[in-house]
């Protein structure tokens, strides 16, 4: 049985479906829920020397991610579940696995949308696939089409 569940939440259609599935599992197992929204470090422009850091852009993005996270927490609260949440900045797979290890998660839940073309799948890479390889616990990938 799961005692601590970590949901990587981004507010997308697949994230919404993962939130619903996570809700059902948490009710069934009476697990503690932790939501995490991972924000990539924004770069305002790319140059030959690398990226230029823009603090204003980062603050705007952090507010946007916090609003997404707050909406997910409200949905769980409306369903009678208590959950904690946090916005973190960095690589999605690294931050999710770090948080799962820190809280001692038994299960990580992520959403995944199937992409239609081979080029789209190749170009985008897969957070879900990399997460399965690096996670310190079980991973539930909730798929939408």
| CATH number of the CATH domain containing 85 | 3.40.50.620
Tokens read off for 83: 């959950």
Q: Is residue 123 part of a domain?
A: yes
92-103 and 127-134 are packed helices; what angle lies between their axes, rounded to 10 degrees? 40
The total number of structural domains in the chain stands at: 1
d(C-alpha 81, C-alpha 19), whole Å: 12
Residue 58 lies in a domain: no
CB atoms within 10 A of CB 20: 15
Confidence of residue 87 (pLDDT cuts 50, 70, 90): very high
Banded model confidence at residue 81, pLDDT cuts 50, 70, 90? confident
| 13, two tokens | 């259609």
Least confident of 20-29, 45-54, 89-98, 130-139: 45-54
Q: What is the CA angle 19-84-23, rounded to 5? A: 25
What pTM, to 2 d.p., does this model score? Answer: 0.81
Domain that holds residue 138: 4-38+66-144
Q: For residue 55, is it within any domain? A: no
Mean pLDDT of the chain: 82
Q: Is the pLDDT of residue 43 over 60?
A: no
CA gap 97, 100 in Å, rounded: 5
pLDDT band of residue 49 (cuts 50, 70, 90) is low
Q: Is residue 114 over pLDDT 50?
A: yes
Q: What is the pLDDT of residue 45?
A: 46
Q: What is the mean pLDDT of residues 25-41?
A: 86
């Amino acid at each position: 049985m799961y005692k601590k569940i970590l949901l990587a939440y981004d507010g997308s259609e697949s994230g919404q479906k993962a939130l619903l599935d996570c809700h059902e599992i948490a009710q069934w197992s009476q697990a503690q829920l932790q939501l995490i929204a991972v924000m990539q470090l924004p770069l305002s422009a790319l140059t030959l020397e690398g990226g230029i850091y823009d603090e204003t852009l980062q603050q705007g993005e952090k507010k946007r991610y916090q609003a997404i996270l707050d909406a997910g927490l409200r949905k769980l609260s409306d369903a009678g579940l208590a959950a904690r949440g946090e916005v973190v900045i960095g690589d999605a797979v690294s931050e999710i696995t770090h948080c799962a290890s820190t809280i001692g998660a038994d299960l990580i839940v992520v959403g995944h949308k199937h992409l239609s073309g081979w080029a789209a799948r190749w170009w985008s890479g897969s957070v879900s696939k990399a997460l399965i390889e690096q996670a310190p616990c079980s991973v539930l990938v909730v798929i939408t089409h």
